[in-house]
Amino acid sequence: MSFFKSDKQSICILRGIFISFLFTLCMLIIYSVLLVYTNLSEQTIRPVIITITGVSILIGSSLGTRKLHKNGMISGGIIGASYILLLYLISSIVSSNFSINWVSVIMIIVGLIGGVFGGIVGVNTG
């Protein structure tokens, strides 16, 4: 754990993860309301969830790394990887038929790319 040289870095990463989950929750509630009360097809569920996940991690890592002045790629990547790991741990506990498939691989890639990109943006705008 030599990467976490200060409590500031750890707090920024935890804040980024929290922001990502909070944004995901808000967007999924909005999407579920739209799904119920409009003619949106259930075929849109997977792409919308992948998009919401990527955007949530991008926003969370961008806001989480804003107070850091270096290591944006690493911090953002950690935020994205931690988000995906927590998401899959929760999914495996909640769902009895949990498995890793091609959608899972896409989510992992989207999470890492979104985290790294958001970390770069956050460090450079902070």
What average pLDDT does the structure give for the chain?
A: 91
In angstroms, the Cα distances linking 108 to 5, 29, 83, 86, 87 are 26, 22, 10, 12, 10
Q: Per residue in 14-50, pLDDT tens?
A: 999 999 999 999 999 999 999 999 999 999 999 999 9
pTM, to two decimals: 0.89
Q: What percent of the chain has pLDDT over 70?
A: 94
Which amino acid belongs to residue 86?
L
Q: Is the per-residue pLDDT at 2 higher than 90?
A: no
Q: Domain locations in the chain?
A: 7-125
CA atoms within 13 A of residue 82's CA, in its CB half-sphere: 21
**Residues contacting residue 17 through CB under 8 Å, at least 6 positions apart:** 60, 64, 79, 82, 83, 86
